[in-house]
């Protein structure tokens, strides 16, 4: 009979949230043997954003243990030894196939069972694959997705094997933009394909996107907009050879990287917990509809205090902060205390080539562009404010200094009233710096 283990706290998932929650539990004085992290990955929690950036650099690429959590937020790096020292059990390479909320039991693929007192669901997202939509030839070799270290390793090997080859990137969001940049740095011939009228449409305005598209084009990235990959042809080795686009064009390809989004991994608890907006519904402490189950990161749909609504947020910043909030709340509630409600300011950022942008707040309402968004300008610096009902509710900046990015966060948090839109245009980031 497979073994059964029992823990006071179990974190299911081994990504960013798991590492930050573990650190917070340790800070809160969790005792040796009380906490376990169960992960299907073979390595301790790491900072996932590195995979689409430094991991694929042609020169001195990032490798583990270099980017284990919590280095992404400037904290101590939690190596596997750290968990041992704290008495936190890392149960790796273990896929949980069943979660029974009523009996507080998890069952793994090999039949092992784990009992918990309190469960934190940190299962994150799974990439959406073209095979899910029955795209012909989408199971060909050398079609890659990026979510885990294993994926990045395979892509890295392919990049090395196909020197000076052709890469087609499907998707114009985070993954598309970051992988296009890093494959170009590897001297590959890069084409990006996406259906929308401009890149990063969920966040960027057309004016912001125009800068990045122009900059990428200047770097030699080909951009094809308004169509999708409709099929793939393979060579005799089963490797992808061409990408057929819906508009009839055919692109040669040695490597294809697909970044068309992800879905929260909630299947294991379907029908056992309340859901909302595709995620597990939680309160401001990340407690689900069942008292001893919490959900953090990508899978949580939580009250967004600032905007008076509920949202699900897919970003590493929220993955870190929600995990810390849940751990604090769990320990506090056991002592009959409470912590402050989660009051999250949405934050997104990206780095590619020698560009770096940050965004804070909400991107609805009218927009005001400031600065110089001409892609030909060396070291271009520009930004955008979003204004709704006469107040600034969102702010974006490319090329900002750490102090300017802090001002950006502050203006989005304070939401000052704006009487003169022209003043925003002329003052630009200086306006935020005065808040």
Give pLDDT tens digits for 309-347. Answer: 999 999 999 999 999 999 999 999 999 999 999 999 999
Of 240, 260, 280, the one marking the end of a domain is 260
Using the predicted structure, report yes or no on whether residue 122 has a pLDDT greater than 90: yes
Give the burial string for 295-321 (b: 16+ CB within 10 Å, else e): bbbbbbbbbbebeeeebbbbbbbbbbb
Q: Are 236 and 249 in contact (CB under 8 A)?
A: no
Assess if residue 348 is contained within a domain.
Answer: no
Query: Domain check: are 277 and 315 in the same one?
Result: yes
Please tell me whether residues 136 and 256 are part of one structural domain.
yes
Same domain, 289 and 244: no
**Which residues span the domain enclosing 422?**
354-433
Instruction: For residues 177 and 210, state if they share a domain.
Output: yes
Domain membership of residue 211 (yes or no) is yes
- 196 and 218 in a single domain? The answer is yes
Cis peptide bond prior to 204, omega within 30° of 0: no
User: What's the total number of domains in the chain?
Assistant: 3
- Beta carbons within 10 angstroms of residue 429's beta carbon: 23
pLDDT tier at 3 (50, 70, 90 boundaries)?
A: confident
**Dihedral of alpha carbons 292, 295, 300, 302, sign:** positive
Q: Respond yes or no on whether the N-terminal peptide bond of residue 70 is cis (omega within 30° of 0).
A: yes
Whether residues 111 and 180 fall in one domain: no
Q: Examine the domain organization and report whether 142 and 254 are in the same domain.
A: yes
Q: Which CATH number covers residue 234? A: 3.50.50.60
The secondary element (H helix, E strand) that includes residue 177 is helix 174-185
Residue 343 lies in a domain: no
Whether 186 maps to a domain, the answer reads yes
Is 144 found in the same domain as 114? no
In 3D space, the residue among 120, 124, 125 whose CA is nearest the CA of residue 290 turns out to be: 120
Residue 342 covered by a domain: no
Q: Which of 368, 347, 318, 398 is nearest to 122 (CA)?
A: 318
> Per residue in 367-403, pLDDT tens?
999 999 999 999 999 999 999 999 999 999 999 999 9
The secondary structure of residue 136, as a DSSP letter, is T
Q: What is the pLDDT of residues 274-318, one digit of tens each?
A: 999 999 999 999 999 999 999 999 999 999 999 999 999 999 999
Residue 69 and residue 119 in one domain: yes
Domain membership of residue 344 (yes or no) is: no
**Residues above pLDDT 90, as percent of the chain:** 99
Domain end: 204, 238, 260, which one?
260
Mean pLDDT of the chain: 97
- Residues 122, 179 share a domain: no
pLDDT of the residue at 36? 98
Tell me the two tokens of residue 68.
């284990």
Helix (H, G, I), strand (E, B) or coil at 383: strand
Query: How confident is the model over 210-236, as a mean pLDDT?
Result: 98
Residue 1 has pLDDT above 90, yes or no: no
Whether residue 2 is predicted with pLDDT greater than 80 in this model: the reply is: no
Beta bridge partners of 388: 391
Global pTM value? 0.96
Examine residue 341 and state whether it is found in any structural domain, yes or no.
no
In this structure, the answer to whether residues 80 and 103 fall within a common structural domain is yes
Q: Which of 299, 334, 369 is the last residue of a domain?
A: 334
CA-to-CA distance for 179 and 176, rounded, in angstroms? 5
CATH number assigned to the domain comprising residue 359: 3.30.390.30
Average pLDDT over residues 67-84: 96
Residues 136 and 246 both lie in one domain: yes
In-domain check, residue 161: yes
Residues 94-108: tens digit of each pLDDT: 999 999 999 999 999
Cα–Cα separations (whole angstroms), residue 261 to 158, 185, 223, 267, 435: 22, 24, 19, 17, 36
The mean pLDDT value for 156-182 works out to 97
């Amino acid at each position: 009979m497979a073994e059964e283990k029992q823990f006071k706290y179990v974190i299911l998932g081994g990504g960013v949230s798991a590492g930050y929650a573990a650190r917070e539990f340790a800070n809160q004085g969790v005792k040796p043997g009380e906490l376990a992290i169960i992960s299907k990955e073979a390595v301790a929690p790491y900072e996932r954003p590195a995979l689409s950036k430094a991991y694929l650099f042609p020169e001195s690429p990032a490798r583990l243990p270099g980017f284990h959590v919590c280095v992404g937020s400037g904290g101590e790096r939690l190596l596997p030894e750290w968990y041992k020292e704290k008495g936190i059990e890392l149960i790796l390479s273990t896929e949980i196939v069943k979660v029974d909320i009523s009996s507080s039991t998890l069952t793994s693929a090999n039949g092992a069972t784990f009992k918990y007192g309190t469960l934190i669901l940190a299962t994150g997202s799974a990439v959406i694959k073209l095979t899910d939509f029955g795209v012909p030839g989408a199971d060909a070799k050398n079609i890659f997705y990026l979510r885990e270290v294993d994926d990045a390793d395979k892509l890295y090997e392919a990049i090395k094997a196909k020197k000076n080859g052709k890469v087609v990137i499907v998707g114009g969001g985070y993954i598309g933009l970051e992988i296009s940049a890093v494959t170009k740095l590897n001297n590959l011939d890069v084409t990006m394909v996406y259906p929308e009228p401009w890149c990063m449409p969920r966040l960027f305005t057309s004016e912001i996107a125009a800068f990045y598209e122009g900059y990428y084009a200047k770097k030699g990235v080909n951009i094809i907009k308004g169509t999708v990959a409709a099929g793939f042809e393979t060579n005799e080795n089963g490797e992808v050879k061409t990408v057929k686009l819906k508009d009839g064009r055919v692109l040669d390809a040695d490597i294809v990287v697909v970044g068309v989004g992800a879905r929260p991994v909630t299947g294991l608890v379907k029908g056992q917990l309340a859901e909302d907006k595709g995620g597990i519904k939680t309160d401001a402490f990340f407690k689900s509809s069942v008292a001893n189950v919490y959900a953090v990161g990508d899978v949580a749909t939580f009250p967004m205090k600032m905007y008076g609504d509920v949202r699900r947020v897919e970003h590493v910043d929220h993955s870190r902060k929600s995990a810390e909030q849940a751990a604090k709340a769990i320990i506090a509630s056991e002592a009959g205390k409470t912590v402050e409600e989660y009051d999250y300011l949405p934050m997104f950022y990206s780095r590619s080539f020698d560009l770096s942008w940050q965004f804070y707040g909400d991107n609805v309402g009218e927009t005001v562009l400031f600065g110089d968004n001409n892609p030909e300008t060396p070291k271009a610096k520009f930004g955008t404010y979003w204004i709704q009902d006469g107040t600034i509710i969102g702010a974006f900046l490319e090329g900002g200094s750490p102090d300017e990015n802090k001002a950006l966060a502050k203006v989005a948090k304070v939401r000052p009233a704006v009487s003169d839109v022209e003043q925003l245009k002329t003052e630009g980031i200086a306006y935020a710096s005065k808040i």
